[in-house]
Amino acid sequence: MENKKFSGIIIPRARFYLWIIFILVTIIALLCPLLAVPGFLLAAFLVFYNYRTNYARQREITRYIENLTFNIDSAAKDTLLNFPMPLVVLELDGTIIWYNSSLRKIFEGEDILEKTIYSFVGELHPHTLVNDTANVSRDIVINGSHYNVLGNFVKIDRKSDASGFILMLYFIDISELVNLRKKLEDEKTTVAIFVVDNYDDLMQSMTDSNRPQMLAEIDRSIVNWVQHTGGILKKYERDKYLFIFEYKYIKEFEDKKFEILDTVKEINLGNKIPVTLSIGIGINGKSLLENFQQAAASIDIALGRGGDQVVIKNGENISFYGGKTRELEKRTKVKARVIAYALREIIDQSVNVMIMGHENCDIDCLGASLGLYRIVKNRGKEAFIVLSHSNATIEKLLAKIGKQPEYSEVFIGKTEALDRVNGKTLLIVVDTHRPSFTECPELFKFTDQVIVIDHHRRGADYIQDAVLTYQETYASSACELVTEILQYVEEKTKLNAVEAEALYAGIVIDTKNFTFKTGVRTFEAASFLRRQGVDTVSVKQLFQNDLQTYINISNVVKDAEIIGDNIAISKCPPNTRNAQLIAAQAADQLLTLSGLTAAFVLCLVNNEIFISGRSLGDINVQVILEKLGGGGHLTVAGAQLQGISLDEAKERLKYAIIEYMESINKEA
């Protein structure tokens, strides 16, 4: 373009020369009229020649453009008529005004002219298409085939001189792509780990002659359950199996609620306890190794929740199935002894020790903390218990502890704990395994030396990378676990009276006076504490309520709403003093009523909703409250909700209960 402009300056147009000739001829005419005559004739000839040449060129250009326009129009019409993919032209109201033969094949030869497109394909309703700001793009299914519909609006001039639009839609067959994508999804490698989670107790409950038959029967049940998948099943330990299969079978297993859990429990070859199986599954990992790691993490969670269940880990999302069996108490104390020795070694290597329980500390948490404090002090290390504030549940025990000078500087708040912590500090977390539930979650940022001692069923957000974890769901309380550890840390352990009473009180409160989750080892722990000088009357006094508290508990019980004839829901009135304590005790009281198998009580404390759930065992309150972000045990669980009212929380709880009962009915 620039070259043309430049050449136009160097070589002027013909009109410019004609004007020069005319001027020169005019000058000659003034000087010599006779010589001007030939000049004017020559100029006239040049003007005529220039006109004829320009006219001919213009005609040629016009004819070329007309031919080009005709050819383009013909090509466009030919392309439209012979377009290789299905094409339809619509009015903006969805009326079909034209379509090609390829589209007719999609609708199996049916005449669709002047009919609305959405009467055949509901997803192509004009209201949704016209609202699209950009070009149309939809994925639809017609007669079992998948199509990606692309379209654009075309402006046209109508005979009425009013401009309008039509819509052109192109149907791209993506059935093969969809099928390939589904095949890729279905054939993704999935890893599962099976564990017979009560293997040792099961073998001990049988005669020697029946043990091989039992193992063979377990193998047969598992093989029969997985053989139709065409996957790989490999037994790599006496009680563990590795199963690699295709992802498409996950949905089938979920729909059938992993019936293998019930199948193995029906095996009866003289065993005194049922066979229980735990399964951990890892899916959608970036590699086979990542799926295996997710399966290993899932099986840890399943065992930490008491076994007899399936845990599926999909990245950060975790699903649970089963978990209806009560935890079985382990007869051997080997693990308790091993944990005690390991704990002693780790304490000896640390500079100082901080003991931290869950937020809103209860007697079980405080009692276990005091027991661990005694272990640390006996090892000659500096120990602190992180506790920011008291509450109605522990105020009597704290008042008793406060009378002894030894504990004057033991309890520290969050700020002081953050000032004292360092990389060599040992942090012992007791009565919880969730970092967000602890008294001061910020402490985890400053030390990698973390020990977890807990008796709750493991949830999805557990403390990972702990140097030592002692999580036994069969135990009645954290105090029971700590009491067992105390017996093995040193040959002769001597507790202060208040420490022994705190541990005993924790067991009493969590077992509801040795009624729930009470096994042989629970009584053995209580017996040890009794030998340490526990005054049972003094412990009883820790649980005494004043008259007003008793009246409030009675009112909460009186106002309970019964759901499904066997589940009670109640709530503490706002501004109730000691609401959390009342909610817990009211839930316990509701279970003493005939016909009730589960109870939930809600209360409001500092703009936060607390829910206490209790059960006799037929209903899993842990699974129900996990739907609300809580957790706990099959018979004792809790949850905390923020940002909603008490009535809204009650409605959410009802919905969670209904969901749970529907799932139970489906399984039945």
User: Left, alpha or beta for 182 (phi > 0: left; psi -120 to 50: alpha)?
Assistant: alpha
Contacts (Cβ under 8 Å, ≥6 apart) of 510 = 364, 476, 477, 479, 516, 517, 636
User: What whole-number percentage of the chain has pLDDT above 90?
Assistant: 27
CA 124, 125, 128, 130 torsion-angle sign: positive
CB 371 within 8 A of CB 482: yes
Q: Are residues 23 and 71 in the same domain?
A: yes
The two tokens of residue 494 are 């001597």
More confident residue, 318 or 366: 366
Q: Of the candidates 331, 234, 255, 317, which has an alpha carbon nearest to the alpha carbon of residue 281?
A: 317
Tell me, yes or no, whether 397 and 492 share the same domain.
Answer: yes
464 within domain boundaries? yes
Among 117-126, 131-140, 333-342, 496-505, which range has the highest average pLDDT?
A: 496-505
CATH number at residue 274: 3.30.70.270
Give the per-residue pLDDT at 548: 87
Q: If pLDDT is split at 50, 70 and 90, which confidence band does 76 have?
A: low
Q: What is the pLDDT of residue 158?
A: 57
Q: Where a domain ends, among 54, 80, 106? A: 80
The pLDDT of residue 355 is above 90? yes
Confidence of residue 572 (pLDDT cuts 50, 70, 90): very high
Instruction: Return the closest-CA partner of residue 312 out of 201, 523, 460.
Output: 460
In sequence order, the β-bridge partners of residue 356 are 386, 429
Task: Please give the average per-residue pLDDT across 561-578, as a whole number.
Answer: 88
Q: What is the pTM of this model?
A: 0.62
- Exposed e or buried b for every residue in 310-337, given b needs 16+ CB within 10 A? bbbbbeeebebbbbbbebbbbeeeeebe
Average pLDDT of the residues in 650-666 = 86
Q: Is the pLDDT at 661 greater than 70, yes or no?
A: yes
Residue 601 lies in a domain: yes
Edge-first strand listing for the sheet containing 277-282: 232-237, 240-246, 189-196, 277-282, 309-314, 317-322
Tens of pLDDT, residue by residue over 298-346, are 888 888 777 888 999 988 788 888 766 655 555 556 778 888 888 988 9
State the average pLDDT over residues 336-358: 89
Number of compact structural domains in the chain: 5
Q: Do both 354 and 432 map to the same domain?
A: yes
Confidence category of residue 7, pLDDT binned at 50, 70, 90: very low
**Is 95 part of a structural domain of the chain?**
yes
Average pLDDT over residues 529-536: 88
Of 596, 656, 586, 593, nearest to 626 by C-alpha is 656
pLDDT of residue 134: 55
Please check the confidence at residue 427 and state whether its pLDDT lies above 90: yes
Between 10 and 103, name the one with better pLDDT: 103
* pLDDT at residue 72, as a whole number: 54
DSSP secondary structure letter of residue 135 = -
pLDDT digit string (tens) for 193-243? 999 988 887 888 788 888 889 999 999 999 999 999 999 999 999 899 999
Question: Which element (helix H / strand E) includes 219?
Answer: helix 211-226
User: Is residue 105 domain-resident?
Assistant: yes
> Is 385 within the bounds of a domain?
yes
| Locus of tokens 């304490």 | 347
Same domain, 136 and 236: no
**255-289 pLDDT per residue, tens:** 888 889 889 988 888 777 888 899 999 998 889 99
On the question of pLDDT at 82 being above 70, the answer is no
Same domain, 259 and 376: no
- Of 165, 181, 197, the residue that ends a domain is 181
Last residue of a domain, one of 501, 525, 542: 542
User: What is the C-alpha to C-alpha distance for residues 389 and 454, in angstroms, rounded to an integer?
Assistant: 22
How many angstroms separate the CA atoms of 120 and 366, rounded? Answer: 69
Q: Which of 165-174, 557-566, 625-634 has the highest mean pLDDT?
A: 557-566
Structural domain for 532, as ranges: 334-542
Same domain, 338 and 479: yes
Q: What is the pLDDT of residue 331?
A: 52
The interaxial angle of helices 478-489 and 497-511, nearest 10 deg, is 140
Quick one: 54 and 137 in the same domain?
A: no
Q: Which residue has the higher pLDDT, 94 or 407?
A: 407
Cβ distance 392 to 472 under 8 Å? no
Of the listed ranges 133-147, 407-421, 561-575, 583-597, the one predicted with least confidence: 133-147
Output the average pLDDT for the chain. Answer: 83
- Three-state secondary structure of 607-654: CEEEEEEEECCCCCHHHHHHCCCCEECCCEEEEEEECCCHHHHHHHHH
The pLDDT value recorded for residue 4 is 44
Q: Do residues 553 and 567 both lie within one domain?
A: yes
In a domain? residue 159: yes
Shared domain for 503 and 603, answered yes or no, is no
Instruction: Please give the pLDDT value at position 463.
Output: 86
pLDDT of 117 reads: 80
Average pLDDT score over residue span 462-482: 86
Mean pLDDT of all residues in 85-105: 80
Question: Would residue 630 count as lying in a domain?
Answer: yes
Q: Cα(131)–Cα(141) distance, rounded to whole angstroms?
A: 21
The CATH number of whichever domain residue 156 belongs to comes to 3.30.450.20
530 shares a domain with 449:
yes
SS3 label, residue 515: coil
Tell whether the model's pLDDT for residue 11 goes beyond 50: no
Q: In this structure, are residues 503 and 482 in contact, taking their beta carbons and an 8 Å threshold?
A: yes
Amino acid type, 522: T
- Looking at residue 161, its pLDDT comes to 45
Between 126 and 630, the higher pLDDT residue:
630
Q: Is the pLDDT at 157 greater than 50, yes or no? A: yes
Domain holding 609: CATH number?
Answer: 3.10.310.30
Question: 83-97, 193-207, 256-270, 594-608: which range is least confident on average?
Answer: 83-97
Residues 341 and 235 in one domain: no
Based on the fold, state whether residues 439 and 345 are members of the same structural domain. Answer: yes
The beta-carbon contacts of 292-297 under 8 Å, at least 24 apart in sequence, are 292/191, 294/191, 295/191, 295/192, 295/193, 296/193
- The torsion angles phi and psi of 139, rounded to 5 degrees, stand at -105, 125
Instruction: Tell me which residue has tokens 């049916």.
Output: 110
Would you say residue 329 lies in a domain? Answer: no
Q: What is the pLDDT of residue 371?
A: 93
- φ, ψ of residue 131 to 5 degrees: the values are -75, -15
Lowest mean pLDDT across 62-71, 396-405, 463-472, 538-547 = 62-71
β-bridge mates for residue 353, sequence order: 383, 426
Per-residue confidence (pLDDT) for residue 8, from 0 to 100: 43
Q: How confident is the model at residue 507 (pLDDT cuts 50, 70, 90)?
A: very high
pLDDT of residue 6: 41
CA 617 to chain centre: 27
Give the pLDDT band (50/70/90) at residue 1: very low
